[in-house]
Amino acid sequence: MTFLALDVGNTRLKWALYEQPRPGATLLAQGAEFLENIDKLAEGAWADIDQPVSMLGCIVAGDAIKRRVESQIEERWDVAGNYGEGEGDFRPRWVVSGSEEAGLSNGYDHPARLGADRWVAMIGAWHSMHARAASAAGSPAANRPLVVVMVGTAVTVEAIDDKAKFLGGLILPGHGIMLRALESGTAGLHVPTGDVCEFPTNTSDALTSGGTYAIAGAVRRMHHHLHQRTGQLPWVVMTGGAGWKMLPSMGMEVELQDSLIFDGLLEIALRRGLKG
């Protein structure tokens, strides 16, 4: 009686097996594979996992990767004949951004064009932050606006107002893309990663500090806009593989949560009534 959650990004596939499809469920197993290795999942990381009762995933890597992931699911577990309309059957399900999901409304000009990872992470962040605030206070907490930051291959900075509406967000290059762009466009600029410092005195430190402060500045700007819009100080929550590197340079209170996309998938699975 388990639930499989998948987060397929531009570089890696991350998976988590939970006891049930609901927030706070016990995590039974988890792992990650680079996309070039996903064809080994059925006979590798998933080989000893019994068939889950249900599955829900988030994917931004494109249709070709999606087909490869579904092929591994079908190779490892029995999905033949289980493509009915009921929510108790095991089959690949993927979140697609829409105008509303799990209590959040989507203010994107074309809601379906919003990246599914951004949408799911916002749902996870909104519900986890407010549930914890309510629990700490002993009663339902007043809604506060929220800035959600994902630091990965690209960086996204999202704004959610106090009425649970996604107002819009920023997209900027991650550290790796920034460095590669500078190396390709600047003659002789091939230096190792340096340290973040206030007044860099060598090229390595200048590059690392510039990229880090560019991301921090985007977050602070969005925080300022959202504060002005709502009249309330927003929470800021950050996720992504490079999130921990950003924290010392943010200059503001930021909470790091590693599992925002999985938190969002669990919340959506509960709202959709998936079995587990």
Tokens read off for 128: 């986890």
C-alpha to C-alpha distances, 220 to 32, 215, 227, nearest whole angstrom? 31, 9, 10
Q: How many other C-beta atoms are found inside a 10 Å radius of the C-beta of residue 248?
A: 10
Element (H, E) at 124: helix 116-137
Which residue of the set 7, 50, 109, 117 is catalytic? 117
Q: For residue 2, count CB atoms less than 10 angstroms from its CB and return exposed for 0-12, middle for 13-18, buried for 19 or more.
A: buried
**What sign for the dihedral angle of Cα 24, 268, 122, 29?**
positive
CA dist 149 and 166 (Å) reads 13
Among this protein's residues, is 117 annotated catalytic?
A: yes
Tokens read off for 91: 């089959």
Active-site residues, by number, are: 117
